[in-house]
Structure 1
Amino acid sequence: MKPQQIGEAYNQITHLWQSEAFDVKNGIVPHERAIAFVKTRGKALDVGCGCTGRFIDLLLQQGFQPEGVDISEEMIRLAREKHPEIVFHHQDICEWGLPDTYDLITAWDSIWHIPLEQQENVLTKLASALNPNGVLIFSCGGVDEPGAHEDDFMGPTVSYSSLGINGFLRLLMAHGCVCRHLEYDQYPQLHTYLIVQKSG
């Protein structure tokens, strides 16, 4: 699926994140772990920021100047309503030229929707946008080998892809990053997150 199709799918399901059933603490502890490695709390970027604003709130509380980017026009509209003081970009991360460099980049439950053939390009872009000692946290499918699939678990069909654990690690190490933490946080599900830090 093309990123624009993913955006259109997410336009239809914003209610899933606005429901009382959604756990607004989802991903917060991993982000607190990532922030502990950050040496300078300057600019931060939330990739696939969605509409809850929970990571934007955390970053603000921790002294960052955050921005958000999302492929879904409706997610961005809702995010701007919640945080009118924050800059949000309605962009395709595959094509977008990041406007700055950052001390922290998060891509929680987002880049796995990027087509497999674009995964390396996007991860390279994010690693390149880290300041020295900057930290990247992202979730991924913790599979052994690269792969992709589609499902309609959330309603509309969306695609997922992963370079595989070793694929992500090899790529990020090649771009000057050190792995600080890797966790299958919902095991036996393959939901996995990595925290990597750019060499100083």
Structure 2
Amino acid sequence: MDHSTIASAYNSLAERWLDERFGRTDGVRQHERALAFLDDGSEGWALNVGCGCNTRFNPMLRDRGLRIEGIDISERMIELARVADPAVLLHHADVCGWRPQRTYRFISAWDSIWHVRLEEQRPLLLKLMHALEAGGVFIFSAGGLDHADEHVDSAMGPPLYYSTLGIPGLLDVIKEAGCLCRHLEFDQYPLKHLVVMAQRPA
């Protein structure tokens, strides 16, 4: 399944994630925990990969002195995001081909990069972690399997591709990027929804 198919699917689904429709607590506790690994007091940028149109993470990022940048492959998601929070710097782009123009104190990829093709996941994770400042933190969700895998699922309506490097592969790429795994959690157990927090050493 190519990237344009994922974009088309999320164009059709985008309104599901509007603030008034989507749960305001999804992923918030996990982001609060990840932000706690940051040093206090220094300003910088946060990058939201697959940002969608929901703003639930934005207040906590700003409370830590972070300016927010977002990227999404769905044009409709970006249109809605601009209305929801005009202060966010937004990019309508495929993150696999996009090049960061700065470094970040905090990067989030919540329920997004698992739609990236399996062969592209490792290069993407390396690129994102190499974009972290010293002491910067990266939180992302992944399929918590013991091995690499990929599949297509139609639970949300249109068929969507999912992949994961598996837990050993994810830990390997964190090490290759020169980062440390600070936290790994099955936050919706028995579902295989894995939350990973990595940090570039200060």
The TM-score, its normalising length taken from structure 1, stands at: 0.96
Deviates further, 26-35 or 55-64: 55-64
5+ residue gaps, structure 2 = none
Task: Name the SS for the 2:128 alignment partner.
Answer: helix
Residue aligning to 1:35:
35
CA distance in 2 between partners of 1:18 and 1:175 (Å): 34
What does residue range 44-123 of structure 1 map to in structure 2 within 5 Å?
44-123=46-125
Contact 2:109 2:140 in 1 (8 A): yes
Mapped to 1, the partners of 2:71 and 2:19 lie a distance apart of 22
Contact 1:4 1:92 in 2 (8 A): no
Q: CA deviation at 1:41?
A: 3.8
SS at structure 2 position matched to 1:34? helix
- What's the CA shift for 1:94? 0.6
Correspondences of 1:130-145 after superposition (within 5 Å): 130-145=132-147
Distance, in Å, in 1 between the alignment partners of 2:62 and 2:54 is 14
Residue 11 of structure 1 deviates from its aligned partner by 0.3
Gaps of 5+ in 1: none
Q: Secondary structure at the match of 1:139?
A: strand
| Amino acid of the structure 2 residue aligned with 1:155 | G
Q: For residue 54 of structure 1, give the secondary structure of its aligned residue in structure 2.
A: coil
How many percent identity over aligned positions?
Answer: 47
Partner of 1:12: 12
Over aligned residue pairs, what C-alpha RMSD do you find? Answer: 1.2
The more displaced of 188-197 and 51-60 is 51-60
CA distance in 2, matches of 1:6, 1:41: 34
Q: Shift in Å at residue 19 of structure 1?
A: 7.4
TM value normalised by structure 2: 0.96
Give the drift of 1:117.
0.6
CA separation of 1:175 and 1:102: change in aligned 2, threshold 3 A: same
Residue 2 of structure 1 deviates from its aligned partner by 1.5
